[in-house]
Structure 1
Amino acid sequence: MNAPLIKQLLLISTLSVCLSIPSIVQSAGMPPYIDGQPLPSLAPMLEHATPAVVNISTSTNIQVSENPLMQDPFFRQFFNVPNQSRQQQNNSLGSGVIIDSNQGLVLTNNHVIDKADKIRVTLHDGRQLTAKLIGTDPEADIAIIQIPANNLTQLPIANSSELKVGDFVVAIGNPFGLGQTVTSGIVSALGRSGLGIEGYEDFIQTDASINPGNSGGALVNLRGELIGMNTAILAPTGGNVGIGFAIPTNMIIPIKDLLVKHGEVKRGLLGVTTQDLTPDLVNAFNLENKHGAAVSRIESDSPAAKAGLEPGDIIVFANGKAVKNSQDIRNIVGLLQIGDKVDIEYFRGNDKKSVVATIGKQEQPRLAGEKLHPLLKGTILGATQKDQIEGILFEKIHTSTYAWRLGLRPGDVIVSANRYRVHNLEELKKVVDPGVPLLINIQRGQEGFFVVLR
């Protein structure tokens, strides 16, 4: 028998064997079963979870001055510079999670929809809808929007306090209009704070890739339950390095409920300033307990002062939750409203005590959105400034605030309010009269002017 004929017979024989065993020809790669057992796959879970993750696109119309002198209110006033401006549109893309299919509620990050004039949501099935803004909490970077649609899929919500380091998680996003993207990893750390990303931080850290455009997307467990909202990455090189952060559901849900009910979060005041316990502080206070938040300051006439707290007290529990550091007490109090009670357990020396404080009202309603801090005498604002001043510095002013629209800018210093000299925030609060316009005297470099905040 010649060689070509032998090859043909071998080929026919091989095909006959393959056709008689269907499981071999089902896949060119790894078979779906090994030893009769199905291979593990995330696909069944994702079939139910991904329709709940949506794409969010926004557009914002802004007025851009064609004359750079228009940005300075003094040039506008004294030199009568004409107002020549043009409209420019900014667009952004992110993700969101449907958390209530009946009401059409979608969870996302505040920074995804911040200052947007129009918000559009693209669903898994391709439907495009105009969303309504329900409420935002910029300090926690949480926003709720609403879409008018039926046949929606929502994600079930899990208790994020049950998470453990090492649990498997999946990050789902819908960035750039590309459709769903899915990455998997584990929980790398819990309770991450002090990163300076948000005002209130209690992040889940994960090595599941959270890429640009995935902000507002879902972090789910292997049951397809929402455990967090993808929010930020640590990217020193500009790309993903396996350090992503998600806001846990136990922080999201109380804020979501407040946003749906009131449209905003009105945080109350406890009146304490705390700091983390360091080994040096533990030794200096001669403490047996090494975890907690050390009270460094009590505001006069505050709920904390009325409850009897003092500087040097070490808070270890608040409303039954363990306080490991100063960020913990900030987060716990940040979820409370005016009039809520907070049970505080603390050490004074090595004596354990407990008090109940009633959360009070925060002042400075007209200065919401501005970051202020005292400017001590001797501080130089800039290289060209000759005079040393003392007052309250506008370190940061959001462009959406009333103060910005009045012409106030970062670097401005409040030197008096309602004709009273003010040196710090305590003095400013004393002269603020709710419901009455606030007259403030501003110093900007070598110039001074008055502004009325209503």
Structure 2
Amino acid sequence: MSILKRTTALTATLIISGFLLGVIATANWDALFRAGKVEVSTSGAQERPSPRNGIMLPNFADIAEEIMPTVVTVYSEQVIRIRRPSFGFDDEFFRRFFGLPDSPRDREPQYDEFRQQGLGSGVIVTTDGYILTNNHVIANADDIRVKAGDRTFDAEVVGTDIKTDLAVLKIEPDGPLSAIKLGDSDKIRIGEWVLAVGHPFNLDHTVTAGILSAKGRNRVGITDYEDFLQTDAAINPGNSGGALVNMNGELIGINTAIATRTGSSAGVGFAIPSNMAKAVMDQLIEHGKVRRGYVGINIQDLTPELADAMGIDRTDGVIITHVVSGQAGDKAGLKASDLVISIDGRPVKTSSELRNVIASNPPGTKISLEIIRDGRVRTIDIVLGDSPDAVAELKPEPEKSPDIGIELEPAEPSDLVQFGYSKGLIVKSVEPGSPADRAGIMPGDIVFEVNRSEVGKIDEFNRQLQKTPSGRPLLLLVGRGDGMMYVALNLHDDKR
């Protein structure tokens, strides 16, 4: 009897244990599925967890659906007139020789016409029909049309800015349009997801995905003012003027160009940042043109060689090489050899960056430059003037262990007027292969300063040369063409 009871109890225990294990196993699997955020959709689409921290990939579909109505196709058409060849028969001698009638109408130039068509994209930025696009999309066009949804509108050019390759168009819709939200391009980080939306190859509303590959790309050679966002989202012909958006569906760039050897996307695309685009757009809408602030300075990047020659214990910043007399910088007290390290509290490392920030402000704006002069940090407040085209940038000459190897003579007064100096030494010749030659010193250059002291005589130059401490490069302020630059010459590295 006791054996039967024990058997019955053991059987019941096994049944209960099996049931509990089943419950626990089921609960664990449910927990695993919840932790991985794997959910089955009734539509059959399944979202997959990212391999990093179980984070879901962004839902591109919702963003694309929101953005596509705000991106339009821009069609441009230009009438090209080409003169017909006359084969010389409009010449009086030939007409007489061949006995041709002397009809005034026959002697008038005859032209053939054909129409050249262009295709690009644009972004609706206001509900009443203002559209932002690239200048090169509509440049020289005689007729511009915009396709928004299933409707086509005639477009008027509000204004263009060749310097940034931007243009604003206006259409007259019957009712409010879907307009894109403008984002802050300064806040997006490298590595964030982005979408490029446009009409490549006349394929409406093409959406491609990628990441932000880089920020602040300049000296690319596309526009005068460059601060491009770089992305690997596919950008192809016809995408120009289209939208680059973040994962909030906000415009952070205007797709502009690609680096490619084939004419199609190679994973290196460039977009104008939305902050720059907005500043240009606002001025084009308000004034029909862009008015850029002007300081009146020549600038160049600080290199390690120049930092050594100038006794500066840092390698980032922008050197002022010349201050235009009577302009905003001169009035505020800027001087040649000042090192600019920030503008309005924002650090600047390159001359292109400083140039872009200054030019983004209209005349009359008050800016604050933080500079280093004689080893001391100073703050200079400047009210920007009205400029033909903002500050001039000089690219630094390559310093390749330079040393003396030049023939000098006093410059004529007529050579000095444009630079605002009363004396200087003109370079008559440069010894081939010398360090001066390797540094980029050229015949015709004018040396105004040696180690920040003005020179106008050969003995003044030599005196500064002799006073230069051992191991310290010689610092020259050189005028060339319409600009000025600093060049560092290492006196003790003769490689001839």
Encode CA deviations 1:396-420: one digit per residue, 9 max, x unaligned: xxxxxxxxxxxxxxxxxxxxxxxxx
- Displacement after TM superposition at 1:350 (Å): 2.2
Rate the CA distance shift 1:271–1:25 in 2: closer, same or farther, 3 A: closer
1:61-76 superposed matches below 5 A: 61-67=79-85
1:57-136 superposed matches below 5 A: 57-67=75-85, 83-101=109-127, 103-123=128-148, 125-136=149-160
Any conservation in 2 of the 1:55–1:175 contact (CA below 8 Å)?
Answer: no
1:55 is matched with which residue? 73
Any conservation in 2 of the 1:171–1:230 contact (CA below 8 Å)?
Answer: yes
Q: Could you tell me how far apart the structure 2 residues matched to 1:363 and 1:232 are?
A: 26
Q: Could you tell me how far apart the structure 2 residues matched to 1:299 and 1:38 are?
A: 56
The residue identity in structure 1 corresponding to 2:385 is G
Q: Could you tell me how far apart the structure 1 residues matched to 2:375 and 2:234 are?
A: 45
Rate the CA distance shift 1:280–1:148 in 2: closer, same or farther, 3 A: same
Q: Could you tell me how far apart the structure 2 residues matched to 1:91 and 1:211 are?
A: 17
Rate the CA distance shift 1:69–1:232 in 2: closer, same or farther, 3 A: farther
The answer to whether the aligner puts 1:190 opposite 2:220 as a matched pair is no
Which of 137, 140, 160 matches 2:161?
Answer: 137
Any conservation in 1 of the 2:202–2:238 contact (CA below 8 Å)?
Answer: no
Any conservation in 1 of the 2:196–2:244 contact (CA below 8 Å)?
Answer: yes
Rate the CA distance shift 1:280–1:56 in 2: closer, same or farther, 3 A: same
Rate the CA distance shift 1:222–1:361 in 2: closer, same or farther, 3 A: closer
SS in 2 for 1:294: strand
SS in 2 for 1:212: coil
SS in 2 for 1:342: strand
Question: Unmatched 5+ residue regions in structure 2?
Answer: 1-39, 50-54, 89-103, 390-417, 419-425, 429-443, 445-479, 484-496
The answer to whether the aligner puts 1:324 opposite 2:342 as a matched pair is no
Any conservation in 1 of the 2:123–2:132 contact (CA below 8 Å)?
Answer: yes
Q: Could you tell me how far apart the structure 2 residues matched to 1:278 and 1:268 are?
A: 27
Which of 138, 143, 146 matches 2:170?
Answer: 146
Encode CA deviations 1:104-141: one digit per residue, 9 max, x unaligned: 11110011111111111111x21111111111111011
SS in 1 for 2:385: coil
1:16-55 superposed matches below 5 A: 27=44, 31=46, 41-55=59-73
The residue identity in structure 1 corresponding to 2:334 is L
1:14-413 superposed matches below 5 A: 27=44, 31=46, 41-67=59-85, 83-101=109-127, 103-123=128-148, 125-149=149-173, 150-362=175-387
Q: Could you tell me how far apart the structure 2 residues matched to 1:25 and 1:163 are?
A: 34
The residue identity in structure 1 corresponding to 2:182 is I
Any conservation in 1 of the 2:145–2:155 contact (CA below 8 Å)?
Answer: yes
Q: Could you tell me how far apart the structure 1 residues matched to 2:167 and 2:332 are?
A: 34
Q: Could you tell me how far apart the structure 1 residues matched to 2:199 and 2:311 are?
A: 52
Encode CA deviations 1:41-94: one digit per residue, 9 max, x unaligned: 311111111111110000112332335999xxxxxxxxx995433333221100
Any conservation in 2 of the 1:269–1:360 contact (CA below 8 Å)?
Answer: yes
TM-score (ref. length: structure 1): 0.68
The residue identity in structure 2 corresponding to 1:305 is D
Moved more, 350-359 or 216-225: 350-359
- Displacement after TM superposition at 1:157 (Å): 1.0
Rate the CA distance shift 1:24–1:182 in 2: closer, same or farther, 3 A: closer
Encode CA deviations 1:140-171: one digit per residue, 9 max, x unaligned: 11111011112411111111111111111111
Any conservation in 2 of the 1:287–1:349 contact (CA below 8 Å)?
Answer: no
Moved more, 186-195 or 290-299: 290-299
SS in 2 for 1:172: strand
- Displacement after TM superposition at 1:359 (Å): 2.0
Structure label with greater radius of gyration: 2
Any conservation in 2 of the 1:139–1:198 contact (CA below 8 Å)?
Answer: yes
Q: Could you tell me how far apart the structure 1 residues matched to 2:281 and 2:182 are?
A: 13
Q: Could you tell me how far apart the structure 2 residues matched to 1:283 and 1:146 are?
A: 54
Encode CA deviations 1:196-230: one digit per residue, 9 max, x unaligned: 11010011111111111100000001111111110
Q: Could you tell me how far apart the structure 2 residues matched to 1:68 and 1:284 are?
A: 65
Q: Could you tell me how far apart the structure 2 residues matched to 1:134 and 1:284 are?
A: 50
1:17 is matched with which residue? none
TM-score (ref. length: structure 2): 0.63
SS in 1 for 2:300: strand
Moved more, 264-273 or 49-58: 264-273
The residue identity in structure 2 corresponding to 1:54 is V
1:11 is matched with which residue? none
Any conservation in 2 of the 1:206–1:242 contact (CA below 8 Å)?
Answer: yes
Rate the CA distance shift 1:40–1:295 in 2: closer, same or farther, 3 A: closer
- Displacement after TM superposition at 1:311 (Å): 1.7
Any conservation in 2 of the 1:204–1:248 contact (CA below 8 Å)?
Answer: yes
Encode CA deviations 1:330-380: one digit per residue, 9 max, x unaligned: 11121222222221111114211111222223359xxxxxxxxx9x999xx
SS in 2 for 1:280: helix
Any conservation in 2 of the 1:313–1:348 contact (CA below 8 Å)?
Answer: yes
Give the count of matched residue pairs: 336
Q: State the percentage of identical aligned residues.
A: 38
Any conservation in 1 of the 2:75–2:144 contact (CA below 8 Å)?
Answer: yes
Q: Could you tell me how far apart the structure 2 residues matched to 1:237 and 1:300 are?
A: 49
Q: Could you tell me how far apart the structure 1 residues matched to 2:383 and 2:278 are?
A: 22
Rate the CA distance shift 1:119–1:286 in 2: closer, same or farther, 3 A: same
Rate the CA distance shift 1:39–1:331 in 2: closer, same or farther, 3 A: closer
SS in 2 for 1:284: helix
Q: Could you tell me how far apart the structure 2 residues matched to 1:363 and 1:224 are?
A: 37
Rate the CA distance shift 1:69–1:340 in 2: closer, same or farther, 3 A: farther
